[in-house]
Amino acid sequence: MIKSAIVTGASSGIGLETSKHLVKEGWKVFGIDINYENKAALGGLSNNNLFKPLVCDLASEDEVYKNMNIIQKEAQSIDALIACAGILRLGELSQMSIKDFDLIFNVNVRGLWLSVSQSMPMLKNASKISGTARVVLLSSVSALRPKINSGAYSASKAAVSQLTRVLAVECAKDNILVNAIAPGTVDTPMVREQSSPKKQGNWRPSG
């Protein structure tokens, strides 16, 4: 039986590499991202039947509901949710715009929570079939060691770490294992763009 996973932030960075690895291992992957404009980055995924790209803004409740319903119609059970989608904005907290602050938490925390809550019925079905299902959330070393100019991002990742702890206890009764990983700085398009002196203020990546 083919295992299946939902990967958010699947068009670039950690989410893309995760999707490639799972497909290589024979998993069916539903890749959620806000855009798939850079088709070249997908490589072999673009024409692989095991990968289904879904365009979804995780900051939008309606879009999350719609895409999770699409997945549920195709796959009644999901063995894993891997939440890699995220957004980074750098700058001093005292000078950050309300728009950027809200966007960080809407994607990194609220969007992550929506992804988990809406995929939970499919994860529970998978645990009944195979005995277990998994949720992997992407926190950050910034949650443990925040830096100047990354206050809002660090706070959002600290929230992810706490959500992980609570979810792990709440989901244990359903045999759903919940973990988070906290990588350091990774060379992804998001990090490169935000580190550039020519960064665009309206740029909205996932992954």
What residues are labeled active site?
Answer: 153
Report the helix count and the strand count for the chain, using DSSP H and E.
7, 6
CA dihedral 112, 77, 71, 1 (to 10 degrees): 120
Cα 123 from chain centroid?
Answer: 16
The helix (run of H) or strand (run of E) holding residue 18 is: helix 13-24
Residue 189 three-state SS: helix
Structure tokens at 3: 């295992």
For residue 188, give the nearest of 145, 113, 138 by alpha carbon.
138
Strand, coil or helix: 177: strand
Bridge partners, 134 (sequence order): 80, 177
Token pair belonging to 201: 């203020």
Answer for the pair 177, 135: CB distance below 8 angstroms, yes or no. yes
